[in-house]
Amino acid sequence: MAKSVPAALNGRDKVSNKTKISIVGLGYVGLPLAVALAKSFDVIGFDVNEERVGELRHGLDRTFEIDTPSLRASSMRFTTDINDTRDADVHIVTVPTPVDKDNKPDLGPLKSACDAVGPVMKEGAIVVVESTVYPGVTEDFCGPILEEKSGMKSGEEFYLGYSPERINPGDKVHTVDKIIKVVSGQTEEVTDILADIYGSATTGGTFRARNIKTAEAAKVIENAQRDINIAFVNEATMIFQKLGISAYDVLETAGTKWNFLNFTPGLVGGHCIGIDPFYLAHRANEVGHFADLILTGRRINESMGKFIADSIHKNLDGKSKILILGLTFKENVPDLRNTKVKDIITVLRDLGHQVDVHDPLADKEEAKQFLDIDLIESLSDLSGYDAIVGAVAHSVYKDLSTAAIEGMMIGKGLVADVKGIWRNTEFSPDIKRWQL
C-alpha cells in the first residue's frame, strides 16, 4: 500500500511557499531553475564545487545565466553540505550526463547525486531528474540507487519524477521562467504536484507527459533531431564547397520557402546536442536496433572541425601564423564544454601552422587546464597574422571594424569566416576570403 507524500505536498491545494525544494547541481540548468523556484518556494541549492558555491553566495554567476542583482535578490540558500537538504520535500537533480571516451553514456555524475540524496531524503519525498538521459534511467537506474541508499521503497515510501531541462545557454528569450515545462511522475498525484511546482515558476505552463519514460524519450529526441538537421546542412555545405558556392547564400535563398527549416552549418559542440544523440543510440543498441541515421549525423558533425581546418589550410601558402577568434562552444557564452573549435586548432597545428587563440568570454585557467590552450588576453597591438579565423560569433567579433581586422594581418592575408560573421563586410581587394 503506497504511503502518501509529505503533508507539504499532499494534494494540489497543499503546495505552498512552505514547500521545501533542494536543487542538486548549480550549473547552467540548476541555478536558473533554483532562482525561478525560489520566488514561490523555500529553495536550497547544493553543489560539490566549493568555489562555485562561494561565488554564488557573493552574487557571481560565472555562466552569465543569472545577473548579480537577481542573484543577490533571491531568497535561495547555497550549500556544499548535502545534510542541509534533509528537510526538502522535493529534490531536483540537475547534474551533467556526459559520455565517455567511447561515446558511451557516463552516468557517474547522476549516480553520485543519487548516492548523496538517498541517505538524506525523508519519507514521502519526491526526487525529480532533470538531466538528459535515455528512456528508463530515472526508474531503472536512479530508483534502485535511491532505494539502496535510503532504505525506502520507490513508489511507496518515496517517489520519482522527471522534468527535462530545456536550458539554451546564452538565450535570454527562452529562459526557464518562460518556456513550457514537461512534467511526469511515478503516480498521477506526483505529476499533479510537479505541475503545480513548475507551473508556479514559468509563464509558459506545463505539459503532463504520459509517463516518465515518455518524458525522457521526448527530451533526448529534441536534441537528436537538431543534431541530424545540422548534419544535413553540414554535408550539403561540404558539397557546396566543392562547387564553389556559399552555403549561406544557398540557405538564404532556400529560406524564402515558407516551410524550409532554418539551420546553419558549423561546429556542433556543447553539453547537449553533441552528446545526447549518443544516449539514444546506446539505448537503441541495448534493445537490438542500430541507430544508423542518428550515428551518421553524429559522424558528419564530428568531422566538421577537420573539414574547416583542412579548407583553411588549402587557402594558405605554406606554414602560417593564424589567429583564431573564439573558443567557446557557441556565441556569447563562456562554456568551453565539448567545444569543437579545439578540433580546428589541433588540425591546423598538426599541419605545421602557428595558432594563437583569443576569447574574451572563456576562462583562461579552464582553457589551459581542460584544453591545453593559452588564450591571448587582448586583441590590442596584434599584428602579422597570415590568417584571421572567425570561429565563434561573439558580439565583440561582429563589432570589429574592417580596419581592426586588417590591422592584425599581413598585406595579403586570409579572412576565414566559419560563422558568417563578416559575410557582408567589405575588405581590401588583396584580402583573401573563405567561408562555409
Q: Which residues are catalytic?
A: 272
At what angle are helices 212-243 and 247-254 packed, to 10 degrees? Answer: 120
Q: What angle do CA 259, 262, 264 make, to 5 degrees?
A: 150
Q: What are phi and psi of 77, to 5 degrees?
A: -110, 160
Q: Which three cell numbers stand for residue 205?
A: 505552463
Cα–Cα distance for residue pair 131/419, rounded to 1 Å: 29
H-helix or E-strand spanning residue 207: strand 206-208
Distances (CA, A) of 205 to 10, 16, 117, 422: 21, 17, 28, 39
Which of 255, 251, 279 has the alpha carbon at shortest distance from 265? 251
Residue type, 26: L
In DSSP notation, 96-121 reads ---B-TTS-B--HHHHHHHHHHTTTP
Cα–Cα distance for residue pair 24/341, rounded to 1 Å: 30
Cα–Cα distance for residue pair 88/121, rounded to 1 Å: 7
Which of 84, 165, 82 has the alpha carbon at shortest distance from 118? 82
Distances (CA, A) of 192 to 91, 176, 180: 16, 19, 15
